[in-house]
């Protein structure tokens, strides 16, 4: 893998896996397609969370470049709990402080990170050129910890919808650059 572009989905109607993009989210997806086109990084593969909002976010770009969107469950958003949480943001904060914290029916930060890193490891062992991943905010923050251990809850809070990060190796080290402009 040469370059890795990681995208957080655009604004959505809700959090269910079949929640569509809002009208603003659709415009954001179109703006994203223009940004990616102008970035000069020729994308060889697009791999997305199977959730509708992730696929809809990258669809305008994929169509313009005639690239298939591969769906991979390892890019699904992390589930904190199968029970409704009124204080979900506080719980999320706690999972950044204690990566092994796991609620009933949920996934710890460690488990979610291992899931997404299994995909990254697979890609690193392939000659697949430039890869674009589309995922969700919490999982994106956990993935970015691979390249910067200091990424935490407040970095997650600052993520926009959409958001885009370029990861590339320079001089033996990974450089992460946020390339989305609100």
Closest CA to 58 of 94, 28, 92, 93: 28
Active site residue 9: yes
Angle at 173 between CA 154 and CA 32, to 5 degrees: 55
Active site residue 93: no
Cβ(21)–Cβ(10) below 8 Å: yes
- Candidates 11, 56, 76, 77; catalytic one: 77
Beta-bridge partners for 8: 135, 163
Q: From CA 180, how far away is CA 161, in angstroms rounded?
A: 10
- Candidates 9, 11, 76, 136; catalytic one: 9
Q: From CA 38, how far away is CA 158, in angstroms rounded?
A: 24
Active site residues: 9, 77
């Amino acid at each position: 893998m040469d370059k890795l572009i990681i995208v957080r989905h655009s604004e959505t109607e809700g959090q269910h896996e079949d929640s569509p993009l809002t009208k603003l989210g659709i415009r954001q997806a179109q703006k994203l397609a223009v940004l990616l086109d102008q970035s000069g990084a020729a994308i060889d593969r697009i791999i997305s969370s199977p959730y509708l909002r992730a696929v809809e976010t990258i669809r305008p770009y994929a169509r313009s470049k005639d690239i298939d969107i591969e769906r991979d469950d390892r890019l699904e958003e992390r589930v904190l709990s199968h029970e409704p949480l009124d204080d979900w943001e506080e719980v999320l904060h706690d999972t950044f402080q204690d990566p092994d914290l796991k609620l009933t029916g949920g996934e710890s930060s460690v488990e979610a990170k291992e899931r997404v890193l299994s995909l990254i490891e697979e890609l690193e062992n392939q000659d697949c050129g430039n890869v674009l991943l589309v995922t969700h905010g919490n999982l994106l923050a956990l993935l970015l910890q691979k390249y910067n251990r200091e990424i935490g809850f407040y970095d997650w809070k600052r993520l926009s919808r959409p958001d885009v990060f370029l990861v590339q190796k320079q001089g033996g080290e990974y450089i992460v650059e946020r390339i989305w402009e609100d």
